[in-house]
Structures are given as structure tokens and as C-alpha cells.
Amino acid sequence: MTSPPQVRLPLEPVPQLDLAAQYAAIGAEIRTAVERVMASQQFVLGREGTALEDEIAKLCGVAHGIGLASGTDALILALRACGVRPGDEVLLPPFTFVATGSAVSALGAKPVFADIRPDTYNMDSAELTRRVTPRTRAIIVVHLYGLPADMAPILAFAKTRKLPVIEDNAQAIGASYKGQRTGSLADAGCLSFYPTKNLGAYGDGGMVVTNSAEIAARVRTLRNHGQSAKYLSSEPAWNSRLDEIQAAILRVKLRHLSNWQRARQSLAAEYNRLFSQIPGVMPPLAPDGFEHVYHQYTIRIEQRDALHKFLSERKIGSTVYYPYPLHLQPLYSALGHKAGDFPHSERAAQEVLSLPMYPELRKEQIARVVETIAEFLKC
């Protein structure tokens, strides 16, 4: 008797991010928190926002947190609070989300790029000496993908030049560098609560965290039309407040953040284990003393675009963060940069690919992702 033909079941898609899985687990807690705000009928600058500011300041190990409308506003207001003015130069890496640069431009200041290290994708401190000028007024360091930048040499450089340092901590809440949380390492830390972030709201939101009472007071004033007292404005500003519903939702999620972080780290360890058998793929680096929180699990591979297509045809989500470094963005054409100016950022933009990563991801799904990549490399 011949055996029946094998039926090939369609493979389950693996999304790059699955917020619905998170909501399925915490939906009841979220609805209770939202209901609490509805019952209070206080929607802006109330108890939830103040409690969230305290809880996040504690998590980051700083004295102050100031809730804002977005991570972009956090960067703009932190730069302003650190004294950046129109015409000033601000050093930042070109391999980041555009907001890091556009926050500088929004103030009429000039972004000056400092290339990244090819192994961590974070700012290379050696570049700072090459790019600094007498007009440099501040440095923004990005902890890309959830990995802290190597802060010690950057802070040492900043100290010799008396430059404030701002951490763009949009992707790295909960990470730590030599035992100290990101956001607390420099003058001010900027968080984003964009929904896809490790701590994501159900809309936009952000926060500045700082140990400086002066910076905190300034950001608090700037987020509310520059009002130093009720209906008394002392400088031009706008409304950048975090609302109570978002704050209440974020407080629920904050209770889960450390478990989610551990889950991300264990999933990353599983990816790393499987990739150790596969030459041609460079997994993310997490040097000793650098705690990575895997906002993204990002590999580097020469045939990146072909792999991206291959995965998508097999219903595996992956994303290129970021295909264009800032110096080659049309936005910055007036700065006169050309291809080759920041080679490590340009190569990263061509070779990085972020794979599925979220706390609810299962190890079997990771195995499928890695097997599919191994199959691609054999083609």
C-alpha cells in the first residue's frame, strides 16, 4: 500500500511585533486604569502623570521626570534646557531615527554628525574630537536598539569641553551601563512612549529624566507654554503635556516592564545560540557591562535586501531600521554631505535587519526565523 501524499500545512506567520498579544495579556488591567481616569474626569496634569513621573524617575535612578507629548519634544526641550540656541552646533550620530536630528533642527541649531562604531552601531567617541568646533554647544548620544552607548569616553570628552550631554534613550528604557541605568548617565535622558517602544503608550508620549533640578524646572515650564506661574509666561514655548489616560496606561505597563525585559533578553540569547551555528550573520553585540534591552534584535548581513524579501515571502516580519543615515537624508542636503562621509553609518544602513522581537514571541518561532535565514544562505 502506498502512503498517502504529505499535506503541507501553511506556516504560521511570525510578525516583527505583536502588540495584540500584549493587549490580550494585560487588557483587563488597562481597562481598569482607563476607567479610573474617566471616573476622575481629570485628563491633563493630574495624579496619574505625577505618579508616572515619580515611578519612571525611580526606574531610571534620577531625581526628576517630566512627562511630555513625545520623545521628539523630550529631545527639543532637553536641548533648550541645556542652553542650545539657534546657530549652535550639536554633535550626534547619523545612524539613528530622524527625530534625533530634527529635534536639533527644530531649534534652528545645526546637527554635526559623528560616525558610529561598526560593532555596536552607537557613537564612536573618537569621532568627537574630529567633529567638535568652537560652535559646538551639546552632544546627543543615542542608545540604539536598546544597547547603551559607551558613555565613559564620551562623558570624559564632554567634560574637557564643558559640553552638556543628552541621552536619546527612546529605545533603551531599563538598560544599564556599568550598573547604572541609561537616562541617568548624563545631563538629561529623553524617553519615547511611542506605541512600539519597550514601554509604549496607546498614542504618543515622552519624558525627560534628569538629576538636575534646574533642567527639570525649565522643561516643566517649557512643556506648558513657558508659564512660570499660572497665566504668566516668561518665554516662547508650546503645549507638550502627557495626558492622564496615557500616563495611567503607562503605569500599568511599567509594572510588567522588568518581566518583559527579561523575556526579551532570554529570546535574544536563544537567537544568539542558534545564530552561533550560522556563519554570515552578525548577531547584536552586548559587551560586558552593557545591558542590552533588545528594543530590536538586529542582525547584520551583506545580502540584507534579498533576505528581507525572502523572509517577507515566507510571512516572517523584519524591518530595516534605518535605510538612510541622516547625513544622506534630503532633509539635510544643505549640509553638503556625500556618500562616503560616514562609512560605518552608511554600511550599517545597507546591512542591518531587525528580526521579530517582543516578549510574547515563542522559541519555536525564533527557530523558524533562524531556519529560514539558514535556508536563504544556502540558496
Ligand X SMILES: Cc1ncc(COP(=O)(O)O)c(C=O)c1O
Q: Which residues bind ligand X (CB under 6 A)?
A: 70-72, 96-97, 99-100, 142, 168, 170-171, 192, 194, 204, 206
Supply φ then ψ for residue 364, to 5 degrees.
-65, -35
CB of 39 to ligand X, least distance (A): 28
- Which of 193/310 has CB closer to ligand X? 193
Q: Which is nearer to ligand X, 91 or 142 (CB)?
A: 142
| 210 close to 187: Cβ distance less than 8 angstroms | yes
CB of 13 to ligand X, least distance (A): 25
Quick one: CA dihedral 82, 87, 89, 92, positive or negative?
positive
User: Residue 197: which of 344, 74, 45 has the closest Cα?
Assistant: 74
| DSSP secondary structure of 322-378 | -SS-GGGSGGGGGGT--TTSSHHHHHHHHHEEEEP--TT--HHHHHHHHHHHHHHHH
CA distances from 232 to 213, 227, 229, 235, 237 (A): 21, 5, 5, 10, 12
State how beta strands 188-192 and 165-168 pair: parallel
> Smaller CB distance to ligand X: residue 242 or 370?
242
Task: Judge whether 78 and 188 are in contact, CB under 8 Å.
Answer: yes
User: Hey, how many other C-beta atoms are within 10 angstroms of the C-beta on 6?
Assistant: 6
**Min CB(170)–ligand X separation in Å:** 4
- Residue facing ligand X at closest CB distance: 71
Q: Looking at beta carbons only, is 243 or 373 nearer to ligand X? A: 243
Between 192 and 211, whose beta carbon lies closer to ligand X?
192
| CB closer to ligand X, 100 vs 365 | 100
Dihedrals phi, psi of 5, to nearest 5 degrees: -60, 140
**In the complex, what is the shortest distance from the CB of residue 206 to ligand X, in angstroms, rounded to a whole number?**
5
Least CB distance from residue 76 to ligand X, whole Å?
A: 10
Task: Compute the least distance from the CB of residue 144 to ligand X, in Å.
Answer: 7
Answer whether 369's CB lies under 8 Å from 356's CB: yes
CB 85 within 8 A of CB 131: no
Least gap, CB of 321 to ligand X (angstroms): 8
Q: Which is nearer to ligand X, 203 or 280 (CB)?
A: 203
Amino acid at 83: G
Nearest-approach distance from CB 70 to ligand X, in angstroms: 4
Q: What DSSP character marks residue 144?
A: G
- Beta carbon nearer to ligand X, 201 or 281: 201
